[in-house]
Structure 1
Amino acid sequence: MNFEHLLVVNDPDNPLVTPLTREELWFGLLCRAEDSRPFLPGLDACTIVERSDTELVRELNFGSVVIRDRVTLQPMEWVRFDTERTATHAGGSLTIGIEEPAPETMVLRFHYRTTLTELSAADDIAYSEFVKSAYHQSDVDTLRVIRMIAESGHIQ
């Protein structure tokens, strides 16, 4: 299954939303890479097992389930999370990109690729739509946490 959507970060036509700088947005994405616990409800631990300038290999503990992923960083542009497929996890990838489609406008593009199929059976379509909705809500929460980080200067 492929799924992609945008979240508006800065909209010059909406004075109710405090704009974020690219640096603040990138810092928030780095926080998600370094420790995803504030971003993923139910995540008990996030352990970095390997590190380089542009990659992290992590183990994510959701109770007794351990998921391993590789985080690739293109500084100030995008972050990609590649999750290994296991007996308990479908695997796939999420890329979160920072885009500026117009002056003073900034968006986050979320692109998911999973091993889930999008078949024509009604149950499969309903399940696929449920997964997309859950991804979208998780991404809204990610932006909310990034805004909290920007306001406070750190994860609370």
Structure 2
Amino acid sequence: MNFEHLLVVNDPDNPLVAPLTREELWFGLLCRAEDSRPFLPGLEACTILSRSDTELVRELRFGSAVIRDRVTLQPMEWVRFDTEHTDAHAGGSLTIGIEEPAPDTMVLRFHYRTTLTEQGVGDDVPYVEYVKSAYHQSDVDTLRVIRMIAESGRIQ
């Protein structure tokens, strides 16, 4: 399944939402790469196994479930999380990109690739829609946590 959606970060027509800079967004995405616990409910531990300037290999612990992933960074542009396929996890990827489609407008593009079929069949249809909804809610929460980080002044 490929699933993609946008979340508006800065909208000049909505003065109720404080704008974020690209640097604040990027810092928030780096925080998610370094330690995903505030971003993923149920995640008990996030251990960096190796790192380079543009890549991290991590081990994520959700109770007894252990998932390994590789995080690739294109600074100030995008971050990609590639989860390894195991017997306990189907694997897949999530890319989060920062885009500026118009002046003073910024969005985050979330693109998922999973092993789920694109179009559910029969009993799978509600499951595929549930997964898409869960991904969307997780992404809304990601932006909420990034806003909290920016408001706390941690980037300064």
Q: Same fold (TM over 0.5)?
A: yes
Partner Cα distance (2:139, 2:5) in 1: 9
Indicate the residue corresponding to 1:20 in structure 2: 20
The percent identity for this pair of structures is 88
Shift of residue 121, structure 1, vs aligned partner: 2.0
Amino acid at match of 2:104: E
Amino acid at match of 2:32: R
Number of residue pairs aligned between Structure 1 and Structure 2: 155
- The answer to which of 98-107 and 80-89 deviates more is 80-89
- The answer to which of 53-62 and 120-129 deviates more is 120-129
CA contact under 8 A between 1:118 and 1:124: conserved in structure 2? Answer: no
Indicate the residue corresponding to 2:52 in structure 1: 52
Change (3 A) 1:152 1:124: same
CA contact under 8 A between 2:44 and 2:61: conserved in structure 1? Answer: yes
Partner Cα distance (2:111, 2:85) in 1: 18
Question: What residue ranges of structure 1 are gaps of 5+ in the alignment?
Answer: none
Superposition CA RMSD, Å: 1.1
Partner Cα distance (1:46, 1:120) in 2: 32
Amino acid at match of 1:125: V
Shift of residue 118, structure 1, vs aligned partner: 3.0
TM-score, structure 2 length as denominator? 0.97
Change (3 A) 1:88 1:154: farther
2:150 paired with 1:150 = yes
Partner Cα distance (1:115, 1:4) in 2: 15
TM-score, structure 1 length as denominator? 0.97
Partner Cα distance (2:138, 2:120) in 1: 25
Indicate the residue corresponding to 2:127 in structure 1: 127
Indicate the residue corresponding to 1:71 in structure 2: 71
Shift of residue 11, structure 1, vs aligned partner: 0.0
Shift of residue 119, structure 1, vs aligned partner: 4.3
Amino acid at match of 2:45: A
Indicate the residue corresponding to 1:88 in structure 2: 88
Indicate the residue corresponding to 1:97 in structure 2: 97
Shift of residue 153, structure 1, vs aligned partner: 2.6
2:116 paired with 1:116 = yes
Give the match's secondary structure for 1:122: coil
Shift of residue 122, structure 1, vs aligned partner: 2.5
Partner Cα distance (2:153, 2:45) in 1: 22
